[in-house]
Structure 1
Amino acid sequence: MEGLVCVDDFEKEALRKLGNVTRAYYRSGADDELTLKDNGAAFSRILLRPFMLRDVSNRDLSTTILGKKVTVPIGISPTAMQRLAHPDGECGSAKAIETIGGIMVLSYFATCSCEEVAAAAPNARKWFNFYMHKDRTITQGVFKRAEKAGFEAVVLTVDAPVIGKRRDIERNPFDFPPHIKLPNACPDEEELSVSKAHDDIDHGATWEAVSWIKSVSRLPLVLKGIQTAEDAIHAVELGVDGIWISNHGGRQIDTAPATIDILPSIVKAVDNRAEVYLDSGVRRGTDVFKALALGAKMVFVGRPAIWGLTVDGTKGATKVMEILRDELDLTMALTGVADIKSITPKFVCSRDSLSKL
């Protein structure tokens, strides 16, 4: 890993190491990949406003998420099938999160079980991502299993009623390796294909499912994939604990707006009735800072952890997460911010607004 000093460095090295099929699976976006590209470009359109002569000799990156402290407001999104990148898989990502003190969100389509991840990183904060199963008794069993394993919240993905069209994958058809299992999607199946796992999902789930989840689970509920203020308002009215702004990393529907662009409107709509999180396009500590300045409580990354795993397993994932943490810390120091709660909208602006400041 010598010489890899930023997430982009890890991405380039990972893409060099991965085979065509796996590379296409991890890297691809929907259709023309306009949203995929704009997720990152949108952060570059936001400028920082550094304030001088402030005491930043000691900086505190900690905050409170769902009532508990995190050392840094950076987590790993529920990214599927991480053992395709490296045998350490999701256990390696969880260990990386344990090192920096963020939050690990384990995918429904993980290749490590929630029990394996809990054992690998017992001191990490962990949430469990899921999709509604056609058989709701199975979904309810997933909640109980996750809670028993020490997972603190459940995260329902809502932006994938069907799978988006990813041309790279169509050009490089994905053949699920027979030796890799999906132990959280359907643990009673000895062999489970990706298509079978998707067939078991209730693609007709509606807002009624949210009310049902709240009635059967004691864990906090986060909805991942919210992209409009209207949906955010509906979610908080149903008692959702967290609104996760995400466009699935640009993998579902193309020309959807970048998440950082819609963050302010959703923060305003939620009006502190639930916490707001964000992913998609985050590649630098400055990106994390900008999202926090615009109202996000927590920022998650997906592909960067995969790039780290690909390069050097747990060590690589840990290095990537440390880079993001250290870049956030440096950004705080150079903008005149000593703690997370002091990051406010005044520290960012658009180029068009500069003459009005």
Structure 2
Amino acid sequence: MTGLTQRRRGPDEQPRPTDAAPPYLDLDLLEARARTSLAPEVFDYYAGGAGAEVTLAEAPQAWRSWRLRPRVLRGVDRADLGTTLLGSPVRTPVGVAPWAYQGMAHPDGELATARAAAAVGALMTVSTSATRSVEEVAAAAAGSPSWFQLYRQHSPGHTDDLARRAGDAGYRALVLTVDLPVLGRRRRDLRHDFALPAGLRMANQPGPGSAAPEPGPPWTTADIGRFAELSGLPVVVKGVLRGDDAVACVRAGASAVWVSTHGGRQADLVVPSAHALPEVVDAVRGEPAPDGTDVEVYVDGGVRSGVDALVALALGARAVFLGRPVVWGLATGGADGVAEVLAGVSAELAHALLLCGAAGPADTGPDLLVRAGWPPR
């Protein structure tokens, strides 16, 4: 059972599209239910952050450092959430961020998440550290656009092969996660001596008996164009928190940049995504993508409501991506739980847009926002 009103789905029934707004989305209740349904070490793996977890704690509050300035008398009586992400149509700008080991949350793992995202019309980003293979998850998405996220892991040859497989499997973009030169110090995982539960494996990594991993040299901006060529896909660079880094990535061949703190799981005490986003958006404005279109900017990190999503769109994000709320939906309700989280946040976003006199994501902008505490004293 999730934090929403839910009915039981038949064994062969796909998650239903959610045209009607769910009655109420309570993500705090959903997280509490996930805590009781998951083993403590699994819950802490998903919920925890790096260091003292300052970045983790600050992320949701950072979105609330803004206040809305609604427009009135604009003749708007309907909000259409439809947009495109790197040219792929989606029914909502609320997507699924990459997160590892989904088989720990539900037996169907990434397959359930992919089916749910397809049913809602949301874009899913599939983790390198998935418990289902590149090809299996692509097939489960049933033609809906999805992206594949790539880490620098194992041998350079294996990483290159994953990039090629993503292109062959029909993914629409390759997402390079670049904020992981080393793994963050995640105290909860260290306390539990966390390991993947028996019976699960990283499906996209070499199997037992393979040669020991031999990581190659650290990635640089030169790898952006190389991975684009290997995969035949546009490249999104994820983990960008600075304007100068964003410009360097774009000039090296990135089609989009993704503002992210990795869920607060890498460096602690870093700037929240909500505060880094305006600098990145301003920096890449006017920088062309490889195909000559405008560079798109995405964001994740602490988005917990449709109002948070509206703030992100008004600051210049093309889309927002959810991590932990989707985890809790999967853990408590499988594919239906994921679908209802995505639909619930999307419904809240549509409602907030209407209240601000905006007809859709493209009808937002910085004029809708002011920093909290305004006017200054």
User: 1:352 is paired with a residue of what secondary structure?
Assistant: coil
Q: Which residue of 2 aligns with 1:343?
A: 364
Q: Which residue of 2 aligns with 1:123?
A: 143
Q: Which residue of 2 aligns with 1:352?
A: 373
**Contact residue 305 and residue 345 of structure 2 kept, 8 A:** yes
**Contact residue 303 and residue 322 of structure 2 kept, 8 A:** yes
**Contact residue 90 and residue 121 of structure 2 kept, 8 A:** yes
**Contact residue 8 and residue 283 of structure 1 kept, 8 A:** no
Q: Which residue of 2 aligns with 1:204?
A: 218
Quote how far apart the aligned CAs of 1:62 are.
Answer: 1.0
Q: Which residue of 1 aligns with 2:237?
A: 223
TM-score, structure 2 as length reference: 0.88
Please give the per-residue CA displacement for 1:84-107, whole angstroms capped at 9, x wherever unaligned. 011121111111211221211000
Quote how far apart the aligned CAs of 1:68 are.
Answer: 2.2
Which among 244, 260, 269 is matched to residue 255 of structure 1? 269
Q: Partners in 2 of 1:349 and 1:221 — Cα distance?
A: 33
46-55 or 97-106, larger mean C-alpha shift? 46-55
Which among 321, 325, 328 is matched to residue 304 of structure 1? 325
Q: What letter corresponds to residue 353 of structure 1 in structure 2? A: W
Q: Partners in 1 of 2:363 and 2:3 — Cα distance?
A: 33
Mapping 1:153-192, distance limit 5 Å: 153-186=173-206, 189-190=207-208
Q: Which residue of 2 aligns with 1:284?
A: 305
Q: Which residue of 2 aligns with 1:75?
A: 95
Task: Specify every segment of 5 or more residues in structure 1 that has no aligned partner in the other structure, as ranges.
Answer: none
Task: Say whether 1:242 aligns with 2:263.
Answer: no
**Contact residue 164 and residue 230 of structure 2 kept, 8 A:** no
Please give the per-residue CA displacement for 1:17-47, whole angstroms capped at 9, x wherever unaligned. 2111101100101111110011111011111
Aligned residues: 349
Percent of matched pairs sharing the same residue: 38
Quote how far apart the aligned CAs of 1:134 are.
Answer: 5.3
Please give the per-residue CA displacement for 1:197-228, whole angstroms capped at 9, x wherever unaligned. xx554462222322422343310001110111
Q: Which residue of 1 aligns with 2:342?
A: 321
Q: What letter corresponds to residue 132 of structure 1 in structure 2? A: R
Quote how far apart the aligned CAs of 1:339 are.
Answer: 1.6
Which structure has the highest helix share of the two?
Answer: 1
Change (3 A) 1:171 1:276: same
Over aligned residue pairs, what C-alpha RMSD do you find? 1.8
Task: Say whether 1:106 aligns with 2:126.
Answer: yes
TM-score, structure 1 as length reference: 0.93
**Contact residue 129 and residue 157 of structure 1 kept, 8 A:** yes
**Contact residue 100 and residue 325 of structure 1 kept, 8 A:** no
Q: Partners in 2 of 1:330 and 1:102 — Cα distance?
A: 18
**Contact residue 95 and residue 121 of structure 1 kept, 8 A:** yes
Task: Say whether 1:37 aligns with 2:51.
Answer: no
Quote how far apart the aligned CAs of 1:246 are.
Answer: 0.5
Mapping 1:13-32, distance limit 5 Å: 13-32=33-52
136-145 or 105-114, larger mean C-alpha shift? 136-145
